[in-house]
Amino acid sequence: MGINLNPFTWWNGASWGTMIGLRGKTRVGDDALGNVYYEGGKDTNGNPRRWVIYAGANDSSRVAPEWFSWLHHQVDDLPDRSLPAPRAWEKPALPNLTGTNLAYRPPGALEKGGRRAAATGDYEAWTPDA
């Protein structure tokens, strides 16, 4: 898309207006996906305002879980300092894959051939004569 559409589009990154609005705010960190997080000012309840600037498409499912908790004031300090290290068995967070080729499709889905397992015998179809 480039620099020509940036002033007018918000769905593929921060527009110029957003970047101007972040002047004076503190950049507090970034995540593995390249999203950048800011903090500054106060909201009407006196809590600090927090923002995320997405790297790429604006999709809230692309925010890492630890940063989600920071954005929503579930933790006060930055995730690196306030949360325990990830466990070895934890899988990395994935964005919402709906609408992509990687989306989950159950065995009977048309995208997987439309064939499903036969009924197990505990199902009796309704007929109008019954």
Asked if the model's pLDDT at residue 1 lies above 70, the reply is no
- Please give the pLDDT value at position 55: 84
pLDDT of residue 2: 52
Rounded to an integer, what distance in angstroms lies between the CA atom of residue 1 and that of residue 9?
A: 10
Query: Percentage of residues in the chain with pLDDT exceeding 70?
Result: 84
Q: Report the run of H or E that residue 29 belongs to, with start and end.
A: strand 26-30
- Could you state, in order of their start, the residue ranges of all structural domains in the chain? 16-112
Q: What radius of gyration do the chain's Cα atoms show?
A: 23
Both tokens of 34, joined, read: 């390249």
Burial environment of residue 52 by CB neighbours within 10 A (0 to 12, 13 to 18, 19 or more): buried
**pLDDT digits 0-9 by tens, 35-76:** 999 998 888 889 899 988 888 778 888 888 889 999 999 988
Give backbone dihedrals phi and psi of 18, rounded to 5 degrees, phi first: -65, -45
